Amino acid sequence: MTDSMKDSSIYGLMAEFDSAQELVDAAHKTHEAGYQKIDAYSPFPIEGLAEAIGFHKNSVPLVVLIGGLIGGISAYALQYWVAVITYPVNVGGRPYHSWPSFIIVTFELTILFGGLSAAVGMLILNGLPMPYHPVFNVPEFAKASDDKFFLVVFSSDPNYDAVRTRAFLNGLAPRMVAEVPS
């Protein structure tokens, strides 16, 4: 395949399907045919679809773990610093480092930081907010949040070829295949 066959004004080719099952089957076949840069779109999460397009990497749990640890450690450190170092209050000779009292705030801030990292981390890893995206240029794509299922092969895929990829997608028995202008 030569570079001249690639058109930078084209984002990819989009195929529309009627059911979740058809989309998963089509995604499997497309991935098996050697296409790497593909994506699938559905109105609700579909079990096994991520594996079908070969997407395995998910860093959200790590982000949440790090966020939660930062929250917990900084909460305990702050309380220790306040109660022992900078503002010690002597209550009848009781120890300054009264750790059981510090557990609750440590717990709460672990949850707070963990929860916020889950939400913010998910959005950032997903590249959201994203006000413009080429897939919305296809009018039928409005149904992607309703009851239709879409598969896109990006033009950046090394195997992408305007003619052959279209023929391949047509072979998957979609409702339609459309070019996605970028």
Partner 1 sequence: MATNTQIPAADRRVPVIAPGYTFSSIGEKISNIVLSRPVSLGWIVGFVIVFSMMNMLMIALGYLFIKGTGIWGINIPIGWGFAIVNFVWWIGIGHAGTLISAILCLLRQTWRNSINRFAEAMTLFAVACAGIFPLAHTGRPWLAYWLFPYPNTMRYWPNFRSPLVWDVFAVSTYFTISLVFWFVGLIPDFATMRDRAESTLVQRIYGLLAMGWRGSVRHWHRYETAYLLLAGLATPLVLSVHTVVSFDFAVGIVPGWHTTIFPPYFVAGAIYSGFAMVLCLAIPIRAIYGLKDFITERHLETSAKVMLATGLIVAYGYGMEAFMGWYSGSQSDSFLLWNRLHGPYRLSYMALLACNILIPQVLWLRKFRVSTGWLWLISFIVLVGMWLERFIIVVVSLSRDFLNSSWGMYYPTKWDWMTFLGTIGMFLTAMWLFVRILPMISIFELRTLLPESQVHEPAEVKQ
Q: Is the dihedral angle over the CA atoms 44, 57, 3, 173 positive or is it negative?
A: negative
| Residue among 34, 45, 93, 139 that touches partner 1 (CB under 8 A) | 45
Angle between helices 60-80 and 99-125 (to 10 degrees): 150
| Residue among 13, 14, 26, 40 that touches partner 1 (CB under 8 A) | 40
Q: Taking the complex as a whole, how short is the minimal distance between the CB of residue 74 and partner 1, in angstroms?
A: 11
CA 29, CA 22: separation in Å to the nearest integer? 11
Residues from 113 through 152 that contact partner 1 (CB under 8 A): 114-116, 118-119, 121-123, 125-126, 128-133, 135-136, 141-147
Decide whether 101 or 170 has the Cβ nearer to partner 1: 101
77 lies in the binding site for partner 1 (CB under 8 A): no
107 lies in the binding site for partner 1 (CB under 8 A): yes
Bridge partners of 152, per DSSP, are 14, 39
43 lies in the binding site for partner 1 (CB under 8 A): yes
158 lies in the binding site for partner 1 (CB under 8 A): no
68 lies in the binding site for partner 1 (CB under 8 A): yes
Q: What number of H helices and E strands is found in the chain?
A: 5, 4
3-state helix/strand/coil string of 116-148: HHHHHHHHHHCCCCCCCCHHHHCHHHHHHHCCC
Decide whether 116 or 162 has the Cβ nearer to partner 1: 116
Stretch near partner 1 under the rule CB under 8 A, chosen from 5-13, 26-34, 155-163, 168-176: 26-34
Decide: 168 and 157 in contact? Cβ < 8 Å: no
Q: Taking the complex as a whole, how short is the minimal distance between the CB of residue 64 and partner 1, in angstroms?
A: 5
Q: Taking the complex as a whole, how short is the minimal distance between the CB of residue 1 and partner 1, in angstroms?
A: 25
What is the residue whose two structure tokens read 């084209």?
10
